[in-house]
Amino acid sequence: MSSKIAVVGSINIDLVYEVDEIVQEGQTISTRDHHLFFGGKGANQAMTAAQLGADVTFIGSVGTDGYGEQALLNLQRNGIDTSSIRKDGLTGQAIIQLSSDAENAILLFAGANHNVTAEQVEASRTVIEESDFLLLQLEIPMPAIEKAIEIAHGSQTKIIVNPAPSHALSDQLLSKVDYLTPNRTELESLSGIPFNEDELHIACQKLIEKGVGCVIVTLGKQGSYYFSGNKYGLLPSNKMIPVDTTGAGDAFSGTLAVALLEGFALEDAIVYASDVAGFVVTQKGAQPEIPEKYRTNQYKFAY
């Protein structure tokens, strides 16, 4: 496969603490276990796409510390082009509490991710222009995101935005997005309509009216609801026993890009992306090794 994907986004080290229940205000609790994983929404998307066979270039920033070095090596070992990643300050960290029922609470230290500028993105203009897809999330400053969208939009590079963590997006920006992949909360904040399963269509319609090409709402074990102009519907996900839901949305977006590049029909691409995200939740950490059977050329639909 020679599908080119540019990821503009965040790179973190995830410091994961396993707890019985997420700590409450004023409480001190003991943890059951601790892990250090590679993370960051951008890096998670990039790792999924690269593991599925795409040619991925990353535009972002890590620190000049040991974590930054390790994070870069991790991306490079998976074939990701890191020449557009700069080094500055301290590497981003996510302090993650993982509860026994697979829920999480995340405390973010943006570190070097906050140093990604529009100028840096402009300096990598050709990477975005020569890519088939641009993958974005919202853990880096908005001017960098806006610049990436402006470049991609002007060069027919398709744009996927995972609007996480939740952040307001201007109508002008939304009008250039080809695929938007919010979860329940993000859909609610972007559409301004309180989440209601029966009114998913109305909330999606509102975003389509702003010019988004296709809205895909990720609903965890309930699957995904998509609305693409004249087509819409609820698509199922495989039943999995979740262990850690961290990174599932990132894996979804990374897989979606690869599937669309491989020529999958939209509905098939969504089911496939849900399936890969479903695998990720069965593993600890946001960047598990994805088994060969999920490669586009080996993947078998359950239907």
Q: Which residues bind ligand RIB (CB under 6 A)?
A: 10, 12, 14, 39-41, 44, 94, 106, 139, 246-247, 249-250, 286
Nearest-5° Cα angle at 80, 298 to 173: 95
Closer of 12 and 181 to ligand RIB (Cβ): 12
Closer of 40 and 163 to ligand RIB (Cβ): 40
Q: Where are the beta strands (DSSP E) in 214-284?
A: 214-218, 224-228, 231-235
What is the C-alpha separation between 54 and 123, in angstroms, rounded?
Answer: 23
Closer of 41 and 210 to ligand RIB (Cβ): 41
160 close to 137: Cβ distance less than 8 angstroms: no
What is the C-alpha separation between 61 and 120, in angstroms, rounded?
Answer: 10
Residue with structure tokens 């300050």? 89
Residue 27 Cβ vs ligand RIB, minimum distance, rounded to whole Å: 23
Phi and psi based region of residue 167 (left: phi greater than 0; alpha: psi -120 to 50; beta: remaining):
beta
Distances (CA, A) of 234 to 34, 174, 217, 219: 37, 23, 9, 10
DSSP for residue 195:
-
The dihedrals phi and psi of 140, each to the nearest 5 degrees, come to -120, 165
Closer of 14 and 55 to ligand RIB (Cβ): 14
Tokens of 209: 């009216």
The dihedrals phi and psi of 33, each to the nearest 5 degrees, come to -160, 165
The catalytic residues are 250
What is the C-alpha separation between 154 and 55, in angstroms, rounded?
Answer: 21
Residue 96 Cβ vs ligand RIB, minimum distance, rounded to whole Å: 7
